[in-house]
Structure 1
Amino acid sequence: MRMDTDMKDQPRGKLTVRRRRKNDGNIDANELLTDEELGLKEMKEIPRSIGEIERALKEKVGLGVSFDLVFREMEFGMKKTAFFFVNGFAKDTVLTDIIARLSLLDREQLAPNALAALMNRYVSHIQVVPEKEFDKAVQFALMGSTVLFIDHESAALVIDAKTFPVRSIEEPDLERVVRGSRDGFVETLMTNVSLVRRRIRDPRLKLELLTVGLRTKTDVCIGYIGDIADPTLVESLRDKINQVEIDGIPLGDKQLEEAIIGKGWNPYPSVRYSERPDVVASHMLEGHVILFADTSPSVMILPTTFFHLVQHVEEYRQTPFVGSYLRWVRFIGIFASLFLLPLWFLMVKHPELKPAGLAFLGPQKQGELPILIQFLLVELGVDLMRLAAVHTPSPLSVAMGLVAAILVGDIAVKTGLFINEVIMYMAIAAVGMFATPSYELGLANRLVRMGLLILVAAFQIPGFVIGITIWLVALSINRSYNTPYMWPFIPFNGKAMLSILFRRPILASKMRPSITNAVDRRRQPE
């Protein structure tokens, strides 16, 4: 998604727009036009006349070239004004009402200070602020607001009359529940924070707005409860977001995560993503900090541990006993997805490791391909089917499944390329991966499983032991925003580990998790 260019010698903020051409018409790569040469230099003050404002907008944002930019000149009470807005963002019904009222004004009603009169009496909207800097006024317009320029005034009025294309609120596909709320986050930041505010009506709920990206100017919101969240964590996140130097984050939350956490090639997720406002609200009450990114339907939860990623909201929608049972079923599926295939492969290579009475676990016949090659091909085949399912239109998905299951899987076994046991154990591992609540964790576990298969094929028992040891050590030294990734297992915390293994009754949880370093540790009032 990003193209690297050789622009290291450019001063920061000098955006190259196009290359200068030589006299023969060819492009000279060494001659680059900067913002100043294109007339895009910063403008602090708003031009005094409407004509000068229009000329400045033509140079700054391409007014007259971009069809969706509107500059509407009007006269109210013998005073020249102009509305500047993006056509797709303007809320036309509100602007029509404002214009209808302003058209009734007389000259005396705007004298002697037209700006103050419009601001305090005649622009009938709940959010109107004056802006003295031209660049900031233009940025407000590009973010969706309407800017009202007034002839011979040193400031403009920013009217927050905007609307964005948005889909309806519906239940997230990755976090469905049998019983519970059906609303989920969408791509509009204001809608998302409203869904959280609806569940936490605490005046100490803080939602700080920041901007990331030199070009995209993406809104990023830090959400936390003031007297619960760790202030050091909040300040650290705020500083890191402010220090991000990037063209933009059009992919939203994922690019933001890489920019502020920077885990490199580590396949395990460092944050938990959620599209459910009830899950986010629950974590905020535990002391976690939430990051919203505009245009993203999922939010980040910090700090995050491995065991946060294996819990699902469905466990808390059932009774504690049933929730604990569901949690253990999920744990079994996750561990089966990790270790079932390597362990069976090890027993195939060393039949003496099989417990008494489990001789049937071995392959009944040999395939044309080595078992390791069979496993790797089936792994790739499952990934290929998953990708095909994502990109296949819904009416064709059933046909795609039949082709993959019957024409490929069944025929491959009958022709002798694969053996039945490989297909069966791979299916169990795939089900365990799909049962993992975190999609990112499921993909990381798949890579670990493939690595363990290769180590078992190369070194047998030592390879299996070394592989698991390296996996545990890597997770133990991993940290999510200075938080131990394997807490409460490493470092061990008995009470917290008991809460992980069993879904405790809600009133039995009297203290917040120590991992969040909450200011107010008690969950229940004394």
Structure 2
Amino acid sequence: MKNTFYEISSSYLKIGLRTEENFDATMKKIKKNRKEYTLFYLSTLTDNMEIMAITQSIVENPTYNIQELILNGAVSKTQDLKNMMKLALSGVAILLIKGKDYALAIESRSYHGRSLTEPDSEKTIRGSKDGFNESINDNISLIRRRIRSSDFKIELYSIGKKSKTDVAMVYLNNVADEKIIREIKSKLKRIDVESLVMTDRALEEELFGQKFNPFPLARYTQRPDIASINLLKGKIILIVDTSPSVIIVPISLFDHLKSVEEYRQPPLVGSFIKFIRTLAILVSIFLIPLWYVLVTESNISNFFIIQPTNSESLIPIFMQIIMAEFFVETIGLAVIYTPNVLTSTIGIVAAIIMGSVSIDLNLFLPEVLLYVAVSAISSYSTPSYELSLANRLVKYSLLILSILFGSSGLLLGVLILFCYLARIHVLDKYYLSPIIPFNGNDFFKLFFRKSNEEKKIL
């Protein structure tokens, strides 16, 4: 006797969900009014009350208008076994009805996520205090709340053979570049991986294949206002389920230098914030290599800001710099992985070791600790954490070249850095735009914020 759709589907879902092994994989057989039903769902991903309410309405009243539920979006029909399995694994309940050649997919997903609080890494004084969490639905709703346009478009992709992670591609239909939209769609469809457990970071690597490039080719943000303003400027947002950050593409190097705070202040104050931030980032990269070159090659010994006033340490200056930088990096890592209640203790211990004790023991010159500290503090002014990490690698590379080849090594390193950045393209956009190719208006806006009346988008 030929197996019916009901029997085939029941067996397929029972084996696929491993209902006899997984405690949250539930299979319920229901017999009512001479009809037989089988319900499959994952209790850890579903709203059990919602499932029971809709199922009870269907089972207890055979003449219940299923089509009305379908029109309301609560229920959909499906005949594809693979689609049924995919829906069940994402938290949708599957109801099989004996004698029918279809299954009912009951929308009952309930993902437990964090509250929509302001992200710690992107705080602002006068800006909004909400932020993305790990739910793709919550994140989309935060953006939709800010952009109520009929051009708002969302395309959903499922990526990963094992994880089947939901990835939403969000853009404004008549604003974003059609060529870039097609290219990203093509890249998303070609991704062939087992999983996206590392979510947005893994997706960026699959899209752009960074390999040995330390510079971020996409911008991450946990703020819905930043994501919304970039959508209005024609950018594309990629939202990965289970990730509290969204990806903004395409971007240039200077997009990583923008902060929401400068747009929450008057134009003059905002321009001042831009200038200070840009200067601090340059200091974080070039201060240490430049100071080392001036100390080892300059004849201006009376210029006390450059020339060390104490040379009693037996350790060469370049070794002092390397040791101090290593210690600062170690402190940074320790703070990240240390419980909040102990971070103040680490700060006290670090201050003691890096302070008067190390100077009294002639391990470090005071100038070395001063410039390393200024460089470290300046690096924290970078709005993008990914760019700040890349800048540190650049700083260490320039320092090594300065140690090996002096001022010639520093100049060579700067030239190599500029040429390297100039050849980077992100989705046909120059990474150094608007410097290469040069655009005077956009270049002006890198350092000066225009007034609200001059800006079409806020």
TM-score w.r.t. the length of structure 2 is 0.95
Q: CA deviation at 1:319?
A: 0.6
| Aligned 8 A contact 1:101 1:122 in 2 | no
Check conservation: 1:222, 1:290, Cα contact below 8 A: yes
More off after superposition, 371-380 vs 420-429: 371-380
Match of 1:187 in 2: 134
Whole-angstrom CA distance in 2 between matches of 1:122 and 1:342 = 68
Tell whether 2:103 aligns with 1:147: no
1:41-52 maps to which residues of 2 (within 5 A)?
Answer: 48=4, 52=8
**Offset at 1:461?**
1.5
Rounded to whole Å, the distance in 2 between the matches of 1:382 and 1:189 is: 36
Following TM superposition, by how much is the alpha carbon of 1:509 offset from its aligned partner in structure 2, in angstroms?
Answer: 2.9
Q: Is the 8 A contact 2:300 2:307 kept in 1?
A: no
Partner of 1:365: 310
Structure 1: 5+ residue stretches without partners:
1-45, 110-116, 511-522
Alpha-carbon separation, structure 1, partners of 2:445 and 2:69: 59
Contact 1:72–1:84 (8 Å) recurs in 2: yes
Output the CA distance in 1 between the equivalents of 2:70 and 2:216.
49
Query: Which secondary structure state, in structure 1, belongs to the residue aligned with residue 60 of structure 2?
Result: coil
Aligned-pair distance for 1:136? 1.1
C-alpha distance in structure 2 between counterparts of 1:421 and 1:298, whole Å? 39
- 1-side partners of 2:175 and 2:366: how far apart? 54
Kept in 1, the 8 Å contact 2:6–2:101? The answer is no
Describe how 1:150-189 pairs up with structure 2 within 5 A.
150-189=97-136
Kindly indicate whether residue 439 of structure 2 is the aligned counterpart of residue 483 of structure 1. no
Counterpart CA distance in 2 for 1:122 and 1:206 is 25
Q: Give the whole-Å Cα distance in 2 for the aligned partners of 1:370 and 1:127.
A: 72
Tell me the equivalent position of 1:131.
Answer: 78
Contact kept in structure 1, 2:13 and 2:40, CA below 8 Å:
no
Map 1:453-492 to 2 at 5 A: 453-492=399-438
Task: Report the Cα offset of residue 47 of structure 1.
Answer: 6.0
1:426 corresponds in structure 2 to: 372
Question: 1 CA distance for matches of 2:403 and 2:201?
Answer: 35
Compute the displacement of 1:420 (Å): 0.7
* Residue 223 of structure 1, aligned match among 150, 166, 170: 170
- Greater Cα offset, 236-245 or 67-76: 67-76
Contact kept, 8 Å, 1:253 with 1:300, in 2: the verdict is yes
Please name the residue that 1:267 is paired with. Answer: 214
Question: For residues 360 and 391 of structure 1, do their structure 2 counterparts lie closer, same or farther at Cα, with a shift above 3 Å needed?
Answer: closer
| Structure 1 position 90 matched with structure 2 position 36 | no
In structure 2, relative to structure 1, the CA distance for the partners of 1:136 and 1:369 (3 Å cut) is same
Counterpart-to-counterpart distance in 1, 2:52 and 2:319: 68
Give, in angstroms, the shift of residue 122 of structure 1: 6.7
Secondary structure of the structure 1 residue equivalent to 2:26 = strand
Structure 1 residue 103 displacement after superposition: 4.7
- Structure 2 residue runs of 5 or longer lacking an equivalent are none
- Tell me by how many angstroms 1:65 deviates: 0.9
Contact 1:98 1:123 in 2 (8 A): no
Q: Please say if residues 47 and 53 of structure 1, whose CA atoms lie closer than 8 Å, have aligned partners that are also in contact.
A: no
Q: Which has the higher helix share?
A: 2
Give me the whole-angstrom Cα distance separating, in 2, the residues matched to 1:339 and 1:482: 29
Asked if 1:279 is matched to 2:226, the reply is: yes
Deviation, structure 1 residue 452:
1.0
> Tell me, what secondary structure is at the counterpart of 1:308?
helix
Amino acid at match of 2:42: V
CA apart distance, 1:407: 3.2
Aligned-pair CA distance for 1:365: 1.7
* Deviation of 1:161 (Å): 1.1
Give per-residue Cα distances to partners, 1:461-519, cap 9 Å, x unaligned.
21111011111111111112221111111221111101111011132135xxxxxxxxx
1:98 aligned counterpart, secondary structure:
helix
TM-score by length of 1: 0.83
Displacement of 1:397 in angstroms is 1.0
CA–CA separation in structure 1 for the residues paired with 2:34 and 2:298? 96
